[in-house]
């Protein structure tokens, strides 16, 4: 029995180690693939042209343009808008579920929020076309509602499950002794929430928001359907935009292999990969700091 138990312990330990190595190797393989193909693009067009303010138009016959500045701005607008909408709503909902709402309501709302993560992105994009878009066009007197604000609203709903779930775990991890000491000093529930619980878990909440941002910035189908896909430099949230993810999804299947356009799409994917990696790394560093504090 002891020998069998030792074997299974050894087997599961090596299996977990192998899984971790495979994950790292896969990530490095993706990074290497993107880097090698992106290098071929930079050899042909240069970094200056790649990050220029020229509108993205690589299919032009006479003077193709490979500037991704407008794509970066479009990605930035939709992501920042989604963060501004989802962060306060998600954190507030997490505090309500964890500290304020009754247990029966929490048992109903939390599964509903988590089920939002299972909604296909194409359904969200369709909702943006037939529901959110017409509403924005009528509310703000716009020609159409396919703009950055439409994409931001949809991405906010898609980021909510991540923010709410992680934020609720962080709030519940605050030691109960902190709250009891606050109540013992005469503080009410609102004062305890804002002056004790919130400061004790703010770094964890920041990590939750950053994970939600990482979820939003990599979304493809929703922004492809709901933002208008205009490659010109946007002037605000009411402008039609195209994100990096939508550009790669639209053009990669149609572009001839081995062309400058083909390799430039890999460069776009590399930029998105590095941005997402940076966001997730920053969130992990914040979470590690939180764990170090013992929360």
Q: Is the dihedral of CA 78, 84, 85, 87 positive or negative?
A: positive
Sequence-ordered list of residues with C-beta below 8 angstroms from that of 34, at least 6 positions apart, any chain: 266, 269, 270, 273
Angle between helix axes 244-251 and 69-95 (nearest 10 degrees) is: 120
Mean pLDDT of 34-46: 89
Q: In terms of Cα–Cα distance, which of 39, 127, 41, 69 is closest to 244?
A: 69
Distance CA 58, CA 254 (A): 12
Rounded CA Rg of the chain: 23
When pLDDT is cut at 50, 70 and 90, the band that residue 177 belongs to is: confident
Q: Is the pLDDT score of 22 beyond 70? A: yes
Sorting pLDDT into bands at 50, 70 and 90, what band is 281? confident
pLDDT attached to residue 81: 92
Closest to 179 (Cα-Cα) out of 202, 196, 203: 196
Whole-angstrom Cα distance, residue 267 to residue 259? 13
Residue 292 is predicted with a pLDDT of 65
- Residue 295 pLDDT exceeds 70: no
Tens-digit pLDDT profile for residues 66-97: 889 889 999 999 999 999 999 999 888 888 88
Who contacts 295 (Cβ-Cβ below 8 Å, separation ≥6)? 170, 173, 174, 175, 200, 201, 204
**Span between the terminal Cα atoms of the chain, in Å:** 39
Give, to the nearest 10 degrees, the angle between helix 69-95 and helix 198-217: 140
Q: What CATH class does 70-292 carry?
A: mainly alpha
Asked if 81 and 90 touch (Cβ cutoff 8 Å), the reply is: no
Half-sphere exposure of 90 (CA within 13 A, CB side): 34
Band (pLDDT 50/70/90 cuts) for residue 154 is: very high
Whole-number pLDDT of residue 143: 87
- The encoded tokens of residue 211 equal 């994970």
Residue 104: is its pLDDT beyond 60?
yes
pLDDT of residue 290: 63
- Span 41-62, average pLDDT: 83
User: Three-state SS for 66?
Assistant: coil
Confidence of residue 220 (pLDDT cuts 50, 70, 90): confident
Mean pLDDT check: name the lowest of 29-43, 119-133, 214-228.
214-228
d(CA 242, CA 279): 21
- Whether the CB-CB separation of 241 and 73 falls below 8 Å is answered with yes
The mean pLDDT of the chain is 85
Q: What is the pLDDT of residues 119-134, one digit of tens each?
A: 888 888 899 899 999 9
| pLDDT > 70 in the chain, percent | 96
What pLDDT is recorded for position 293? Answer: 58
- b/e per residue, 214-237, with b = 16+ CB within 10 A? bbbbbbbbbbbbbbbbbbebbeeb
Q: Is the pLDDT of residue 230 over 60?
A: yes
pLDDT of residue 283 exceeding 90, the answer is: no
- Nearest-angstrom CA–CA distance, 78 and 87: 14
Give the confidence band of 51 by pLDDT, cuts at 50, 70, 90: confident
Break the chain into its structural domains and give their ranges: 70-292
Distance CA 131, CA 148 (A): 15
Nearest to 75 by CA among 249, 223, 250, 273: 223
Whether pLDDT at 191 is above 70: yes
Lowest-confidence pick of 8-12, 184-188, 290-294 = 290-294
pTM of the model: 0.84
Q: Is residue 289 predicted with pLDDT exceeding 80?
A: no
């Amino acid at each position: 029995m002891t020998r069998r138990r030792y074997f299974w312990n050894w087997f599961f330990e090596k299996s977990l180690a192998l899984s971790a190595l495979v994950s790292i190797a896969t990530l490095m393989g993706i990074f290497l693939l993107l880097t090698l193909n992106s290098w071929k693009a930079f050899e042909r067009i240069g970094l200056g042209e790649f990050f220029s303010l020229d509108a993205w138009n690589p299919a032009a016959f006479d003077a193709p343009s490979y500037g991704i500045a407008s794509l970066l701005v479009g990605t930035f607008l939709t992501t920042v808008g989604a963060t501004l909408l989802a962060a306060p709503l998600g954190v507030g909902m997490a505090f309500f579920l964890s500290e304020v709402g009754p247990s029966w309501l929490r048992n109903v709302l939390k599964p509903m929020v988590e089920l939002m993560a299972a909604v296909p992105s194409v359904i969200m994009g369709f909702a943006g076309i037939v529901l959110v878009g017409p509403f924005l066009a009528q509310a703000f007197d716009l020609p159409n509602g396919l703009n950055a604000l439409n994409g931001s609203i949809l991405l906010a709903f898609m980021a909510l499950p991540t923010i709410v779930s992680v934020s609720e775990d962080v709030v519940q991890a605050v030691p109960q002794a902190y709250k009891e000491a606050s109540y013992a000093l005469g503080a009410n529930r609102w004062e305890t929430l804002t002056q004790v619980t919130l400061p004790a878990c703010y770094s964890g909440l920041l990590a939750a928001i950053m994970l939600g941002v990482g979820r939003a910035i990599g979304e493809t189908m929703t922004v492809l359907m709901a933002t208008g896909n205009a490659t010109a430099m946007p002037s605000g949230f009411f402008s039609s935009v195209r994100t990096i993810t939508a550009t790669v999804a639209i053009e990669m299947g149609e572009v001839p292999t081995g062309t400058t356009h083909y390799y430039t799409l890999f460069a776009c994917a590399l930029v998105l990969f590095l941005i997402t990696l940076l966001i997730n790394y920053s969130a992990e560093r914040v979470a590690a700091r939180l764990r170090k504090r013992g929360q």
